[in-house]
Amino acid sequence: MKSKSAIGWLRLLGLIPGWSAAALGWLAAQFLAERDRWALWLPVALGAGIGLYFALPREPAGWIGPAGLVLAAAGIAAGRQRPVVLLLAAVAAAGAGGFAMAQFRTAWVAAPVLSRDLGPVELTGRILEIERGPSRTRLVLERLEVARLDPTATPARVRVSVSGSGADVLAPGDWVRGLVVLRPPPEPAAPGGYDFARRAWFERLGAVGFALGAPDRVAQPAGWPVERRAFEGWRLFWEELRQTIAARIQAVLPGERGALAVALTVGKREAIPPDLLAAMRDSGLAHLLAISGLHIGLVAGAAFFGLRALLATWPAVALRHPIKKWAAAGGLLVALVYLFLAGATIPTQRAFMMVGLVFLAVLLDRSAVSLRLVAWAAAAVLLIAPESLLSASFQMSFAAVVALVAGYEAYAARRARRVAAPTAEAGRRLWERPAAYLGGVALSSVIAIAATGTYAWYHFNRMAWFGLAANLVAVPLTALFVMPAALIALLLMPFGLEAVPLWVMGQGLGLLIAVAYETAGWPGAVQLLPALPTWGLVAVTLGGLWLCLWRRPWRLVGLAAVLLGLSGAAVRTPPDLLVSSDGGLIAARGPDGRLALSQTARNSFVWEQWLRRSGQAVPEPWPPPGGWLTCDSAGCIYRRFGWEVALARDAAALGEDCGRADLVIAPFPVPAACRRARDGPQRVVDRYRLWRDGGHALTLGEGSLTVETVRGDRGERPWTGRVSAE
């Protein structure tokens, strides 16, 4: 590339000053020197296109993504002799491809979504998935027939909770009938909050609800064709197998150990007691509960090394055949089986792709660990499921993998420079290997925690400060005892010989549980953090990628972007008032920044989300001391920054509130005369506005008022129930 000539012409024409030309020349030199790393940024461009699609306030016209691809392809064809044009066109093609795939995926999974509460109503459907918890069972049903609901408006799938033990006899594939209450998938609790409805859209989940009593098993309705197990019954086969394995495990390992063993083997976490779940989270060990790269890597790795060792004991085979490649093929097959056994969720698909690429590299005599393989895996996942870009599991797992592989590459390069160094004394080798292993675990944990900490902050508003100490014990325990025992138990289960390896697994899990409870009980083990804005997460992500994907010293510039992103929480102004979509719950922020809640007897999901995003464990009393919030039987008056806000409980209070308050909030319709007295609708939040716009977040300032709404923040997209293509 003639970058120096281009910069020289710009300087000659006076378009840039001399110091800028020098800086641009230095950047161009760095960029050209790292041309072998350019391809690593194509998945980043792919993700940027996907992110742009999901960030739009309205659903874009269907032709935009394909048109962008066509234009980028034309740029590639025209720029074959112009490297700069070719490079820019390739990046544009990746971005347009991500945008187009997100559009295609959104249209592909489209299915009816319930628009209003419905029930009690009779529902008939087939069980697709069963999640058995300590006190309730969740059924995911498909092939639905819902009374009083037109077939064209019937969701493809619903999720129904069944209390008690009435669903214990049910199995995947059963047809059931019962009375249920259904609701649309819930929208975020506050503007910028977690959008379950968007996730439900891509899972084709059109409603959630609960059953009035246990549903009854019935015969398959005549209107549905008999399925062919080789095709439509594939998922049911694996779900039935998962249920069977879970029951066999819990028969040997009851209680917490059994629940944890089921989570690690077949990915079902519903039976884990809440106390243990909280301890795992607060100790920094929650990542062990999600079947991901660690688990599939351990299972596939154990199969690889075990099969290779077994073949090595047979000289006639070991000396004449590539047993390493045979073992890699066996490990790949085991990983594939484990993928389906774990439910083939997006995290397990991603982990399988990573492990599969490693084994493929072994089969092709290539390096088994490289950022290029990580980039291919990320691109494959994003093309298959573009919505996974927004999930915590995708972000955290790939952040950890990219950071670990980049660290491994840096360590390998440094080690290569010291190959000629004298080896250590033979007498030290007995302790050097375990010390090196623990050191590697510690270093890997530090890198992974540093890489994923911001994402845990953004999604969960918490930081487990002693996660390193817990992982130093838990990761070796899981790698050396728990997962190998789990693999042996699964292999012996068809012969009814799983009791002994499950007992060994249970001993390891007992120690793991003890570590979780002990670490979570340390003072200051977990800290709640206020919400990080989305732009802060994007800045940290780009800065981290810049730091990991480049090799030369200019990569340190990424630290500035990381620090800028982390400052987002400090510059973010949290809302002073939060109002639920039904008006039955209000949160008010005091001078100390803490929230007080009008009630906690209902809407627990909503107020827990509010407190979590505020970095607060428990609410302040209502009304709190200090005089900034005063209440009587008719309502409350909130005072902040010179504003007087009336929080009405009774319509009788409006006569006084409409005359003196600057802002009126009421869970019932407010008369038009009151809205006119308040100088416009922005000064009144009543039942009508809440019904139309969802939950509200209001930020008060000296003479300023900012109103954000859930539906205004979500825009007009298929999963919001409002679509307006641009």
CB neighbour class for 383 (10 Å; exposed up to 12, middle 13-18, buried from 19): middle
The rounded distance, in Å, linking the Cα atoms of 184 and 711 is 15
Element (H, E) at 209: strand 205-211
For residue 3, pLDDT over 70 is answered with no
Render pLDDT for 666-676 as a digit per residue (tens, 0 to 9).
Answer: 998 888 777 66
For residue 433, pLDDT over 80 is answered with no
pLDDT score, position 340: 83
The rounded distance, in Å, linking the Cα atoms of 390 and 401 is 17
CATH of domain 118-216: 2.40.50
What would the mean pLDDT of 346-359 be, rounded to a whole number? 76
The rounded distance, in Å, linking the Cα atoms of 398 and 378 is 8
Question: Which range, of 229-238, 542-551, 645-654, averages the lowest pLDDT?
Answer: 229-238
- Where do the structural domains in the chain lie, given as residue ranges? 34-108, 118-216, 244-416+430-528, 534-571, 577-720
User: Which of 393, 400, 404, 418 is CA-nearest to residue 370?
Assistant: 404
pLDDT score, position 11: 52
| β-pairing verdict for 577-579 and 526-528 | unpaired
Are the C-beta atoms of 284 and 464 separated by less than 8 Å? yes
Are the C-beta atoms of 617 and 529 separated by less than 8 Å? no
pLDDT score, position 9: 46
Are the C-beta atoms of 240 and 268 separated by less than 8 Å? no
Query: Which residue in the block uniquely carries the two structure tokens 């960029």?
Result: 31
| β-pairing verdict for 136-146 and 629-632 | unpaired
CA separation (Å) from 171 to 132, 493, 601?
A: 11, 20, 35
Q: What is the CA radius of gyration of the chain?
A: 29
Question: Which range, of 421-425, 463-467, 565-569, 714-718, averages the lowest pLDDT?
Answer: 421-425
Residue 61 binned pLDDT confidence (cut-offs 50, 70, 90): very high
What would the mean pLDDT of 572-588 be, rounded to a whole number? 92
To the nearest 10 degrees (0 to 180), the angle between helices 467-477 and 499-520 is 170
Residue 44 binned pLDDT confidence (cut-offs 50, 70, 90): very high
Residue 5 binned pLDDT confidence (cut-offs 50, 70, 90): low
pLDDT score, position 183: 94
pLDDT score, position 12: 47
Q: How many helices (H) and strands (E) does the chain have?
A: 27, 18
Residue type, 644: E
Residue 566 binned pLDDT confidence (cut-offs 50, 70, 90): very high
pLDDT score, position 725: 46
Are the C-beta atoms of 283 and 464 separated by less than 8 Å? yes
What would the mean pLDDT of 388-398 be, rounded to a whole number? 87
User: Which of 648, 257, 295, 628 is CA-nearest to residue 487?
Assistant: 295
CA separation (Å) from 142 to 172, 176, 235, 269, 711?
A: 11, 11, 12, 22, 28
In the predicted model, what is the mean pLDDT of the chain?
Answer: 85
pLDDT score, position 231: 45
What would the mean pLDDT of 205-220 be, rounded to a whole number? 91
What would the mean pLDDT of 368-396 be, rounded to a whole number? 86
User: Which of 163, 210, 156, 146 is CA-nearest to residue 183?
Assistant: 210
Q: How far is CA 246 from the centre of its chain?
A: 25
The maximal CA–CA distance of the chain, rounded, in angstroms, is: 96
Render pLDDT for 88-108 as a digit per residue (tens, 0 to 9).
Answer: 899 999 999 999 999 999 999
pLDDT score, position 314: 83
For residue 697, pLDDT over 80 is answered with yes
Cis-peptide, bond into residue 623, ω within 30° of zero = yes
For residue 82, give the DSSP letter: -
Render pLDDT for 146-188 as a digit per residue (tens, 0 to 9).
Answer: 998 898 999 999 999 998 777 888 888 889 999 999 999 999 9
**Three-class SS of residue 698?**
strand
CA separation (Å) from 445 to 13, 223, 513?
A: 52, 55, 19
For residue 425, give the DSSP letter: P
Share above pLDDT 90 across residues of the chain, in percent, rounded to a whole number? 35
**Around Cβ 420, how many Cβ atoms within 10 Å?**
5
pLDDT score, position 48: 96
Render pLDDT for 318-344 as a digit per residue (tens, 0 to 9).
Answer: 788 888 888 888 888 888 888 888 877
pLDDT score, position 352: 82
For residue 421, pLDDT over 70 is answered with no
Residue 230 binned pLDDT confidence (cut-offs 50, 70, 90): very low
**Around Cβ 66, how many Cβ atoms within 10 Å?**
15
pLDDT score, position 357: 77
pLDDT score, position 675: 67
pLDDT score, position 513: 94
